[in-house]
A and B are shown apart, each in its own frame.
Chain A
Amino acid sequence: MLLELRDYMSDMKRCARCSLCKWPPLAQVKSWRFSNMCPSITKYNFHTYSGGGRMALGLALAEGRLEDITDELLNIVYRCTACGACDSSCKYNSELEVLWPIYSTRAYLAGMGYFLPEHSMIIDSLRKEDNIMMKPKTDRGKWAEGLKVKDLSRGEKAEVVYHAGCLYCYDPELSIIARETVTLLQKAGVDVGIRGSQESCCGSIAFQLGFQGEFIKFAESNIDDWNAAGVSSVVTSCACGFGIMKSVYPLLGKEMKFEVLHITEYLDRLIKEGKIKLDRSFTSRVTYHDPCNLGRKSEIYIPWKGMEKKVLGQFILREPEKVIHRGWNGVYEPPRDIIKSVPGIDLVEMERIKEYSWCCGAGAGVKQCFDDFALWTASERIAEAKSVGAEAIVTACPWCERNFKDAIAASGDDILVYDVVELVKQAM
């Protein structure tokens, strides 16, 4: 069940403006240069852009104090990648929900009919062509042309379905990675199939932009497709998709008869089982960038609705008990294990990693609507990677890759971007 903005009012009221949401957990700050965690407020420097500021904004909307929805307000709301860093940082100190009021604020505005014009183009594309890239549905299977792989949409059966995701299907530069992934899985003896042109978007961007109604339709359709296909696992390359499948799909109350895995989790399993042998050396000093949706945002979210009781005028007791998800249980080790098992690789960690990692800047519609903001955020991360002497950034999300590559092209930098799968292929 997806909660409404009003359900988060008590959390939004309790924000004490401590500003922790703007920084990594203080014990993890390693330098002044990279001591920010919220790209939004770091760039725009006005409290409303931070997690706490967005709580205040959401509260004002829910209490009816913001009647005039101006274009500037919409810009403030949507200049945010919903990366969840504020949420994780806040939870080092308290038990407030920060990310979900941000989602609900967007859903609230969308329900009233307020959104950016680019959003309407994305959603129209989703409704008509089942993808957010504004490309035709019939071209969705083209990335797999020539690949001898089972097509589940033609009634063939497989144990594992590989969900490539909109970006991998339609971006020619990135489709190669999807092809390599399928070939890898097949080499490892996995009974894998794809859905070709009948694959449809996971609905992640629709959800993050606030179009929860649209999201529900796509999520339910995907669950039904995968249930009907009888697969035991859904493996996806798209971190955005993975995050939403793990954290939000279960909230719809539909039985999911399959396991959802990210390709890094799956490959890690295969490497540890010895089905994939990495024997070729690949010498490089690389760093790993934790995608938000693979890491802190992929934790299962359990919405809380119940009774609160104040004890001794200070402590809040909740009935039923609230399960707090802090982002600590995201997928962090599997990609690192994969990288470390490549012979010759030197993995160095950046300063802001795991659940307090700095966003790449592409999420939640920012890449489509505020490309300058997205590129600036990426350039900050690239600077961080260079500061630890990395020659390449390795990541596991197509949006991160796309954004980093665009930022590097814009700045003329010489740092490289690898997907985890590319590394594995190099090492075989």
Chain B
Amino acid sequence: MQIVVCIKQVLDPEMPYSAFKVDPDGKRAIPPQGTPPVISPYDENALEAALRVKDAHGAKVIALSLGSRLAPSVLKKPLAAGVDELVLIEDPATGDLDSFASASILAAAIRKIGGADVVFTGRQAADWDAGIAGCAIAEELKMPCITVARKVSVQNGMARVERLLSDGFEVVEAPLPCVITVDSDLGELRQVTMQGLISAKKKPVNAWRLSDLKLESPPPPRCELLELYIPKRKRVCQIISGENAEDTAVKLANRLFEESMS
């Protein structure tokens, strides 16, 4: 069985608040000093989903990442966690890709790898939060797509997935090959051990450009980005002060009660 996990390198969503800055002319967020980029958190859940299937049935797991300024120290983490191979696609010709363009490039890469029985990816990336790429890759590869999975098992050529609904969960089944997008409810990526790091050094890493995928240039973005900005906060919070914690707490309770009466 061959499993592909599509992972995206993003600016750390947990960077300190003061570090997040936007370049209005370039319409992009500025990578802060001292905070490395990370693998998008839901993509880490996707890696965990893939590794659990590998544990249960044995499979070759390939991590695939498309982007610019890809950082090897960041993207080798899946290898240390148990993934067998890493494929990086980086090409100066890509410029700004939207979800659909990324999906077409990733799909071409998956075909070049030799296809996949299951393609895992996170439900949405922590930078653009769009949640489009997973379904778009499925459409490109003409595979069924199951979104927001919290539990995945594979048996007899079928994937059995428990997925989130707004008021509970449902269990669905689909024939392989299929695309599954993963939610954090599935569980965190397993801890990386020293042995994992050592064995990661011997695992293959392939770097491809668009020409390796027989793609001339990626399709242009379907939407045009007009502006990227940090909104100004309008509300002013009333901080309640008092002589000590008890006094402050009592004041708050009184005030809330007064407000609710009016």
Do A and B interact directly, with beta carbons closer than 8 Å? yes
Show the binding face of A for B, using Cβ within 8 Å. Answer: 2, 4-5, 104, 107-108, 110-118, 120-121, 124, 127, 210-217, 220
Contact call A212/B35, Cβ cutoff below 8 A? yes
Residue of A nearest to B16 (CB): A216
CB neighbours (8 Å) of B19 from chain A are 213, 216
A-B contact count (CB 8 A): 75
Contact call B34/A210, Cβ cutoff below 8 A? yes
Contact call A113/B36, Cβ cutoff below 8 A? yes
- The proximity string for B residues 55-80 relative to A, scoring 1 for CB distances below 8 Å and 0 otherwise, is 00000000000000111111011001
Give the contacting residue for A117; candidates B14, B16, B80; CB below 8 A: B80
Residue of B nearest to A219 (CB): B16
Contact call B69/A117, Cβ cutoff below 8 A? no
Give the contacting residue for B34; candidates A127, A212, A220; CB below 8 A: A212
CB neighbours (8 Å) of B34 from chain A are 2, 107, 110-111, 210-213, 215
CB neighbours (8 Å) of B71 from chain A are 112-114
Contact call A213/B16, Cβ cutoff below 8 A? yes
B197 on interface, CB distance cutoff 8 Å: yes
CB neighbours (8 Å) of A121 from chain B are 192, 194, 197
Contact call B31/A111, Cβ cutoff below 8 A? yes
CA distance A118 to B35 in the complex (A): 16
**25 A–B contacts from the bound complex (CB under 8 Å):** A2-B33, A5-B33, A104-B33, A107-B33, A110-B34, A110-B35, A111-B33, A113-B71, A113-B72, A114-B72, A115-B36, A117-B73, A117-B80, A120-B73, A120-B77, A120-B192, A121-B197, A124-B191, A124-B192, A213-B12, A213-B15, A213-B19, A213-B32, A213-B34, A217-B14
CB neighbours (8 Å) of A5 from chain B are 33
* Nearest 7 interchain pairs by C-beta: A113-B71, A212-B34, A213-B35, A107-B34, A117-B197, A216-B16, A111-B33
Contacts known (A5-B33, A108-B33, A113-B37); A216 close to B18, Cβ less than 8 A? yes
Chain A facing B: main interface SS: helix
CA distance A212 to B18 in the complex (A): 12
Contact call B77/A220, Cβ cutoff below 8 A? no
B9 on interface, CB distance cutoff 8 Å: yes
B72 to A: closest C-beta gap in Å? 8
CA distance A5 to B191 in the complex (A): 32
Residue of A nearest to B38 (CB): A113
B200 on interface, CB distance cutoff 8 Å: yes
B9 to A: closest C-beta gap in Å? 7
Contact call A117/B76, Cβ cutoff below 8 A? yes
Contact call A112/B192, Cβ cutoff below 8 A? no
Contact call A217/B197, Cβ cutoff below 8 A? no
A262 to B: closest C-beta gap in Å? 26
Known: A111-B32, A212-B35, A217-B16. 19 other contacts (CB 8 A): A2-B34, A4-B33, A108-B33, A110-B33, A110-B34, A111-B34, A112-B69, A117-B200, A120-B73, A120-B77, A121-B194, A121-B197, A124-B192, A210-B34, A212-B33, A213-B12, A213-B16, A215-B34, A216-B18
